[in-house]
A = this chain, B = another copy of it.
Amino acid sequence: MPSYYTSAPGKVILFGEHAVVYGKVATAGSLGLRSYTLVQTRTDGTIEANLPDVQLVRTWKSSDIPRQARWEGYPFPPAAMNTDLLDHLAQFVDLAAHRNQSQAAIALLYLHAYLATDDTATQGFDLSVRSNLPVGAGLGSSASYSVCLATALLKMNGHLSSLSTGAEQRELVNQWAFQAEKVIHGNPSGIDNTVSTLGGAVMFKKGEKIEPLPGFQSLRFLLTNTRVPRSTQVQVANVRKLQEKFPSVVNPMLDAIQEISISCKELFGQDDLERAQLLSRFGELVDVNHGLLAALGVSHPALEKVREISSKMGLKSKLTGAGGGGCALTLIRDDVTPETVAAVKQLLEAEGFQCLETQVGGPGAGVQTLEAPKTIAEFLTLDLTSLEVTPNWDYMV
């Protein structure tokens, strides 16, 4: 009864939100905040899902799930989504439930339908997911679920050897995670699952291949969730309106934002740049990018408050994601004392914001083969920080 942990990070946009909509290059990085999965085969032919973060506890009879025949390109997924299968799977979930629940469950069954071997299809399995990523905060929680899920089912069904060995394994995880993202989101960009799979940082541009950012060094951030609800659609539409009214003004601003990503890449490509200097320059790019986003009208008083508080302590912040609320990133340079970080956190929390210290640029998808099975209850009550320091992870790095 093989048992595995899988793990995958969330993501943040470092530079280039909004500009990316206009075909400009943007930069994203993997977050230290991760999702974790326990997956293990059973003997009773049952599939059991425990996803406490979306309040989903559900079992299915494995024999009810239609398995897909071998296809061209196996074990990589077929290019087109199987809409017949999606329609069929809808009957196994409670569509009246919160969309997060039903989509997470369908994604699980969809990947199972393709990836199950005769053994796992007969025996069934249980899969439990926990996360220290807030849901719906623009931090890629669904992608980290999708990558955990893909890694878990690929591993359990014998499709993965070692994650740290080579591009093909990464590509396999990433492609299946992208399938899961498509089930969940309809038309995802593929950025979130790529960052979550690969870890580190990536540069991306609409319609072009997502490339790892070479030489990227892990950075510390304070991630502040303003808890101001945000709508990506509304913010994107507002920028579009401004761009249509004043294209000659807005277009060079979008170019400037793209050049921030390119300058960031250049910074990490400079071998002779000292770490302190790198962080200082990176902080300046953070400042300028936020300013440009504010100039595009996508900031919010709560985000400006984060800037004001952190700036008083000498720290650079920017909104991350669509803006209009949501999260801000504050760069913690190596020379910033724990006392300063604590003081900033205290001031931000006094505003009602939620603060998390985290790394950006850590490892991507990970898998660990457990020596003995865990009970689901053990996993669900585990202190998640203990998983972060568990050795024996096989990570994409």
Contact = CB atoms under 8 A, between A and B. Distances in A.
Nearest to A288: B295
B253 A249 contact: no
Given A246-B284, A284-B245, A284-B246, A292 B253 contact: yes
Given A252-B253, A262-B248, A291 B296 contact: yes
Contacts of A291: 291-292, 294-297
Contacts of A297: 287-288, 291
B249 A285 contact: yes
A266 to B, nearest CB: 9
A280 to B, nearest CB: 10
Contacts of A245: 281, 284
A250 B287 CA distance: 12
A296 B312 CA distance: 18
Contacts of A242: 284, 288
A245 B263 CA distance: 10
**How many copies of this protein are present in the complex?**
2
Interface residues of A, number: 32
A75 interface: no
A250 B256 contact: yes
A288 B248 CA distance: 12
A301 interface: yes
A357 interface: no
Contacts of A126: none
Interface in A228-246: 242, 245-246
A361 to B, nearest CB: 21
Contacts of A295: 287-288, 290-292, 294-295
A56 to B, nearest CB: 41
A260 interface: yes
Nearest to A241: B284
A168 to B, nearest CB: 36
Nearest to A260: B249
A140 B285 CA distance: 34
Interface string A285-328: 10110111011110001001000100110000000000000000
Contacts of A292: 253, 291-292, 295
Nearest to A307: B304
A135 B263 CA distance: 41
Interface in A117-159: none
Contact of A246 (B252, B253, B285): B285
B296 A304 contact: no
A318 to B, nearest CB: 11
A273 to B, nearest CB: 12
A297 B285 CA distance: 11
A308 B300 CA distance: 10
B260 A256 contact: no
Contacts of A296: 288, 291
A294 B263 CA distance: 19
Given A248-B262, A253-B256, A301-B308, 5 more contacts: A246-B284, A252-B259, A288-B296, A291-B291, A304-B308
Interface of A: 242, 245-246, 248-253, 255-256, 259-260, 262-263, 281, 284-285, 287-288, 290-292, 294-297, 301, 304, 308, 311-312
22 contacts: A242-B288, A246-B259, A246-B263, A246-B284, A246-B288, A248-B262, A252-B252, A252-B255, A252-B256, A253-B256, A253-B288, A256-B256, A287-B295, A287-B297, A290-B295, A291-B291, A291-B292, A291-B294, A292-B295, A301-B312, A304-B304, A304-B308
Interchain residue pairs A-B with the least CB separation, the first 7:
A291-B295, A252-B252, A252-B256, A248-B259, A252-B255, A249-B259, A291-B294
